[in-house]
Amino acid sequence: MSSARASSVLKLVDGLSFDVSGFTWSVPPLTVAQGQWISLQPDRPEPEVDPTTRLSRILATLGPPLDGTVEILGRDVYRMEYLPLQRLRPSIGFVHGYGGLLSNRTVRENIVLPLSIHGGLSAAEEESVIERTLEEFRLTRIAHLQPHEMDGATRWRACLARALVLEPKLVVLEGIGNWEMDRGRGRGWSVLLERHLAGRHAIVVCMARQHPEFEEWTLRHSGEIVRYTKSSDSIAPPGSM
């Protein structure tokens, strides 16, 4: 691990609980530092319930948990006012499991967007960063396409490129998406891995279920697996949320 590991990026102080379709889940107290890769997995997955979206949204400051505190870069994000939170959010790269790209913009325009809002760069510098990012993710040839013109794996890769263009401290992935397909022909996971090994981000992957191959791949590349547990079967009738 890099020397930057000492600096905590994400901290779940009192543990975390959240509910999905009537089930309550608990994540143990956890600290994720820069250069660290954590894959969060349910210990006993429910075949018909996917807690990934809820958990990743909580970590990405998009919705509060039932219980527990989420600290990002030392700030309790669910006690922050809107404007300071808005200024903190560029430090988080959120990779949607599906969708998430703006459908009326091309790949290039999607990646330019966070950079043009928060980058504070001149047009020339912006252009250079975009070119480098497109090249890094092998998106240069399809930069002019809109999301509906691409397959799911490519959309995911473009979403990952957009999430990483601002060099966020924390990267949250909602599921492992097209992991097998991307590893076979894409560049998304390998870029993420390269950046992880270089200690550039704290990476948290939220998984819906156990995935032996992915687990093995994570552990082989100095990642860690943290399991979260289902603490109650029903707090409300399914479908009531």
Partner 1 sequence: MWKWVDKLGEAFIGLLHYVLKLFGLLYLSFKVVWTDRDLGQRDFLRQVMLQVYYTGVQSILPVVVIALMVGGFSIVKGIGGIGTLSGADNLGRLLTVIVLREVAPLITGGVIITRSVTAISAELGVMRVQREIEALEVMGISPIRQLVTPRIFGGVLALLSLNIVFGCVSLGGGYALTRSLVSVPASVFLHSVLSAVTPGDIVVFSVKILGTGIGLFVIACYHGMSVMRASTEVPIAVSRASLDSLVFLFVFQLALSATLLVDSSAVAMIGGVL
List residues binding partner 1 (CB under 8 A).
Answer: 57, 60-62, 83, 86-90, 92, 94, 96, 99-104, 113-114, 116-118, 123, 162
The two three-digit tokens of residue 225, written as one number: 């697996």
User: What DSSP line would sit under 26-66, residue for residue?
Assistant: EEPPEEEETT-EEEEEESS--TT---HHHHHHHHTTSS--S
Give dist(CA 102, CA 81) in Å, integer: 26
Q: Nearest distance from residue 124's CB to partner 1, in Å?
A: 13
Give phi and psi for 101, each to the nearest 5. Answer: -75, 145
> Closest CB to partner 1 among 56 and 218?
56
Q: Nearest distance from residue 94's CB to partner 1, in Å?
A: 4
Give dist(CA 134, CA 110) in Å, integer: 11
Taken in order 88, 89, 92, 93, is the CA torsion positive or negative?
A: negative
> Closest CB to partner 1 among 96 and 187?
96
> Closest CB to partner 1 among 72 and 153?
72
Q: Nearest distance from residue 211's CB to partner 1, in Å?
A: 23
> Closest CB to partner 1 among 54 and 214?
54
Give dist(CA 129, CA 115) in Å, integer: 9
Q: Nearest distance from residue 234's CB to partner 1, in Å?
A: 22
Q: Nearest distance from residue 216's CB to partner 1, in Å?
A: 30
> Closest CB to partner 1 among 139 and 214?
139
